[in-house]
Structure 1
Amino acid sequence: MITGFLKISLCTSIGARLEDRLYEHLEWIAPPRLQAHELLVEEMIRAGLEVGSTTPYGTALMRCGETQKQLGETERKFVQSSNIDFLTPLRSFTEGEYRTIQSSYQMRMNRCNQILQKAVSLKQSLYKFIGDANRLTDKLLELCNKPVDGNSTTLSIKQLKRLVEETTFSQILIPLQSVLIPTRPSTGGTNGKHDAFLGHSAYLDGFEDVVEILASLQKPK
């Protein structure tokens, strides 16, 4: 719905929108056509030449026509850039990722797996990293769900400790706010060597032998 409202705002001609929609549906390239402001430009310049380009009125018509032409070109560029830089990404999000967010748990899980598989296909070393991250997650969930008696104040986590201390275990970044704030390049344009995250990254190094159990109803650890 929001993309439709934005399209109406950026392309106000109903006939033009219907024609573009038809060509888009048929996957055809729409033929070039003169917009309303372009027709106005032609008529103003033609009228100026008929009156006389050296007369005051003719000169005014031709100057207004040239100004209108510049305004029309600016409008065309704005509509094109709005479609490329805003409407198309927004449509992609609303028709893709947004539906996934609103979908069932199973569909979200399948989409997550697809994203991870694509990442692994682009960089094979991520396969082990994702596997280690899943193992860590499973151990943390196991720890959280492990039942304890009412008098216990600590719990052993030797298995979790051994997992993280493996020599081949991947580096797991701790998501501190200080290292998650990106910085923009100091110069404009494309900069492939720019590091957006300049903070000192902190990685998971290990766990203590025991974890404390808080004295509340749910016994959080």
Structure 2
Amino acid sequence: MDLKKLAGQAGQFLTRAVQYTEEKIGSAEKTELDGHFESLSHQADSARHWTEKMLVGAESVLIPNPGNRVEDMIFEKIEKRRPNRLSNLEYFGLDMVQAGNDFGSGTAYGSALLKVGGAEQRLGMVEREFISNAVQGFIQPLRKFLETEMKTITKEKRLLETKRLDLDACKSRLRKARSLDGQSSAEADLRKAQADFDRQAEITKLLLEGVRSSQAAHLRYLNELVEAQTLYYDQSHKVMVELQKELASVPFNPSAVGAFDNSVPVFQINDEEIDLQSPSSP
């Protein structure tokens, strides 16, 4: 273990902590970045904020079950793929098909259940395909943007703040220097700190400028989401139109239902039938 190196790092950390504290209480000056840099930084923060919100919103719509979202994330990290699970519509359709088989395809209700159940299963498959396309074309690219570009920018901004604290600590030390040797040493440290700060500021600025150009890619992801959603609704509409045509062929006798709907409640008291809808009824 290099104790000298550790001691130097501890000294740097303490110097930064002192500089930060003095800035907060107003007893030390702080180097401000130019307005253009601050504008770029604000735009990057805004891009991260809204991308995170859109990502959460898209995941909530596409995968409403929080447990499934966690499972998907784990599978993507470990297996590099999402689990292939049936959708709720497919389970719903499966129940209908099983009920239809139990009631019998020769009955009107059983036949209708088989047709509707099959359509619900097809809708579920269409939905799964839509979710897969939306995840690949929209969610994954946005998540990658946050985990790569934005994470790198955050790291470099923190490093820039560290270089800025070192620079201002050197400025403060130079102002407090009394001897010529002390001033000479402080000036040398200041020149190095200024060079390190300027270099880090330029690196961070280039990264921040790249955020705006990434919007062109994000626009493409948005178009892919819309295309996937349009295809989903178009295919779903076709399934439902076809289902309506199939149901039209199922025999349905409305009089059988009307016989129950139009029935009059009758009670019998002491061998006498009383019509509850009759005006003369007590």
TM-score range, shorter chain: 0.3 to 0.5
Q: Which has the higher contact order (CA 8 A, sep 6+)?
A: 2
TM-score (norm 2): 0.35
TM-score of the pair, normalised by structure 1: 0.44
Q: Which has the larger radius of gyration?
A: 2
